[in-house]
Every structure is written in structure tokens, then in C-alpha cells.
């Protein structure tokens, strides 16, 4: 990453749900307090990297964070604040319009201005393009990035959920280096190397267009960030319904075993599994529960062995490696 700041922790706090709900409801005092408590817990754990997107809780999450910044003058310069743009929700701005992606010049600039206003800050440390847009015009992205960079509104740029070819296409036009690719990654969603280990198999069980993302990003110095790092709590033993897939049950049991042996939380083991990867993937933890935030941060004190990593991985796949 080219940002002038360096994160104090390999873990990022994801602010998706601090706004309370994905609708046009008004922010309540209770929601604001719950969001502030989550931010405080992250800061107490030493996290200084905060992840946003303009659509999170329809902008309310950025607004909650902006109010927090306004009430804590002087804190901004110690933080890395990242946001995303490019997703347009259904029925916005007009009823009947579909959910869609928009990486046009106008939409990028309008989105950033809205984000900065809600966050009550003059600049973003990093702006990510949230999803690939089939109608993207790379020249428009380049023009928008140039203006945002020259104006000081955005210091660094990256993408989210992009394949190597999609990154190459953008980078061929964009002058600023794309420093980040945020992807879904956890033991239950490890398709990026599920495909890799089935190379040259007669009937590969996995095949996905994202194959090679991890290797590509490592080769090009692009920091990988993992969204849904806690797998929605499934591997922490929560929300397991009677009809839960056997592989998920077995993986949760393996996580619980290692947590008990180390006297840490299951959340810490799940995050430690991500941190064990040599690509130095940065997990984004999105829970708003202060206790779970602190539990997940225990991962920085743990290093899983290669054997333990594969025990969780193969349990989560539901079968051994080839």
C-alpha cells in the first residue's frame, strides 16, 4: 500500500452495520450509541483501520462514524479510513430501477462527495471500487481518480471483488497504483485456493473465474483484505441450525477444539486462520458486538501451525485435499 499511514494492526474494523439497518429509517439514539460502542471497542483493541461503503445501511453507517469523528477532534489523523463506491441499490433513485453497478465518472465523484460529507472528513485514505461493472469505461475511472487524487479527496485507490484481468484492464488506464483488492475469504469461502489445489485434475471439483487472484495480488504488491472474515458467526458455533451442512459443523468443532486448547475465543481462531496465510491477508471484522470485536482481536497473539490450518481447511471443504 502507498498510503502515508501504516495500520497498527493486521485487522480492519468493518463498519457495515454500525448504521443499524439497510433501509431509509432515521438514525435513532440507540443505534448511534451502539455504533459508537463498537468503534470504541475497536480502538481499545488497537485497531486504527476502518472500512466503509457508501451503501452500508443506506449511508447511515458513514453518518454514525462521521458523528463520532466530529465528537473526537484530533482523532482523524491517527486513522486509516477506507470507503467504497460503485453499487447502486434497487429502486434508487427511482422506483423500478434495478440493482446495478456504476463505475462511471459522474457516479464515482458524486459517491465520494457524499461519503466525505457523511464521514465529516476532507479526505479518504483509500477508495475502493466495490464491484466490477460490465459497462465500465476505464478512461472514465482514470479521469475520476486523477481529479480525486489532485484535489486531495482520496490518497490511494483499490478495488473489491475484482479478478486479475479486471484489475489489469483498470491499471492499463489508471495512473495511480491499485493497492488493495477486498475479497470474500474465510475457511467456509476459500474458493480462491480451492481452485488452485485442483490444478491438473481430470475432473476438478472447483473452477471459478477468480482463480489466481491471491497469486496475482502477491506478485503485484496488492494488499488483500478479507470481507466476511468471521463467516457470519458460523464457525464460532453460533446460528447453527439442525440442518446445517456437515462440513460446517465439523469445521466449527475443529475451531472450538483449537480455541479450547489455547484458551481463546473461536473468533480468534477463525481470524488466526486468515492471518496464517503468507499473503498477509487483512481480515475485516464486521461484528458490532464489543465482546466479539475484542475476542477476534485475540488472533494477533496466535499462530496456527501448517497442520492446524489444513485441519480447519479440509474440515470446511468437507473432504481431504487431492
Q: Which domains does the chain have, with CATH numbers?
A: 12-184 (3.20.20.100)
pLDDT of residue 6: 67
Q: Nearest-CA neighbor of 176 among 155, 153, 152? A: 155
Identify whether the C-beta of residue 217 lies closer than 8 Å to the C-beta of residue 276: no
Q: pLDDT tens digits for 137-174?
A: 999 999 999 999 999 999 999 999 999 999 999 999 99
pLDDT of residue 200: 74
Query: Strand 124-129 vs strand 100-101: parallel, antiparallel, or unpaired?
Result: unpaired
pLDDT of residue 259: 97
pLDDT of residue 274: 98
Identify whether the C-beta of residue 153 lies closer than 8 Å to the C-beta of residue 174: no
Buried b (16+ CB within 10 A) or exposed e, 153-165: bbbbbbbbbbbbe
pLDDT of residue 2: 44
Identify whether the C-beta of residue 157 lies closer than 8 Å to the C-beta of residue 127: yes
- Catalytic residue numbers read 56
What single DSSP character describes residue 177?
A: -
pLDDT of residue 281: 97
pLDDT of residue 201: 74
pLDDT of residue 1: 44
Q: Which helix (H) or strand (E) holds 232?
A: none
d(CA 127, CA 113): 12
Q: Nearest-CA neighbor of 52 among 21, 32, 26, 80? A: 80
Report yes or no on whether pTM surpasses 0.85.
yes
- What residues in the chain have per-residue pLDDT under 50? 1-2
d(CA 53, CA 62): 8
The grid coordinates of residue 265 equal: 475465543
Amino acid at each position: 500500500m502507498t498510503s502515508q499511514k501504516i495500520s497498527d494492526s493486521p485487522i480492519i474494523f468493518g463498519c457495515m452495520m454500525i448504521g443499524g439497518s439497510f433501509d431509509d429509517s432515521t438514525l435513532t439514539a440507540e443505534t448511534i450509541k451502539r455504533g459508537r460502542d463498537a468503534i470504541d471497542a475497536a480502538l481499545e483493541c488497537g485497531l486504527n483501520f476502518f472500512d466503509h461503503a457508501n451503501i452500508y445501511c443506506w449511508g447511515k453507517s458513514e453518518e454514525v462514524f462521521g458523528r463520532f469523528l466530529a465528537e473526537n477532534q484530533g482523532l482523524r489523523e491517527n486513522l486509516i479510513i477506507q470507503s467504497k463506491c460503485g453499487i447502486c441499490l434497487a429502486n434508487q433513485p427511482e422506483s423500478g430501477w434495478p440493482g446495478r453497478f456504476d463505475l462511471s465518472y459522474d457516479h464515482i465523484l458524486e459517491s465520494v462527495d457524499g461519503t466525505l460529507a457523511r464521514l465529516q472528513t476532507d479526505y479518504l485514505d483509500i477508495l475502493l471500487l466495490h464491484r466490477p461493472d460490465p459497462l465500465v469505461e476505464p478512461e472514465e475511472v482514470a479521469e475520476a481518480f486523477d481529479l480525486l487524487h489532485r484535489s486531495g479527496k482520496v490518497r490511494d485507490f483499490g478495488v473489491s471483488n475484482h479478478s486479475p484481468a479486471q484489475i489489469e484492464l483498470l491499471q492499463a488506464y489508471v495512473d495511480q497504483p491499485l493497492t488493495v483488492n477486498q475479497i470474500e475469504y474465510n475457511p467456509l469461502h476459500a474458493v480462491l485456493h480451492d481452485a488452485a489445489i485442483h490444478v491438473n485434475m481430470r475432473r476438478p471439483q472447483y473452477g471459478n473465474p477468480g482463480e489466481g487472484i491471491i497469486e496475482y495480488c502477491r506478485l503485484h504488491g496488492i494488499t488483500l483484505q478479507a470481507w466476511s472474515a468471521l463467516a457470519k458467526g458460523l464457525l464460532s458455533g453460533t446460528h447453527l441450525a439442525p440442518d446445517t451442512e456437515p462440513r460446517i459443523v465439523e469445521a466449527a468443532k475443529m475451531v472450538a477444539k483449537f480455541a479450547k486448547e489455547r484458551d481463546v475465543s473461536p473468533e480468534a481462531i477463525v481470524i488466526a486462520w486468515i492471518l496464517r496465510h503468507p499473503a498477509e491477508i487483512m481480515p475485516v471484522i464486521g461484528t458490532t458486538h464489543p465482546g466479539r470485536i475484542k475476542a477476534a482481536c485475540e488472533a494477533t497473539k496466535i499462530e496456527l501451525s501448517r497442520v492446524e490450518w489444513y485441519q480447519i481447511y479440509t474440515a470446511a471443504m468437507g473432504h481431504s485435499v487431492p
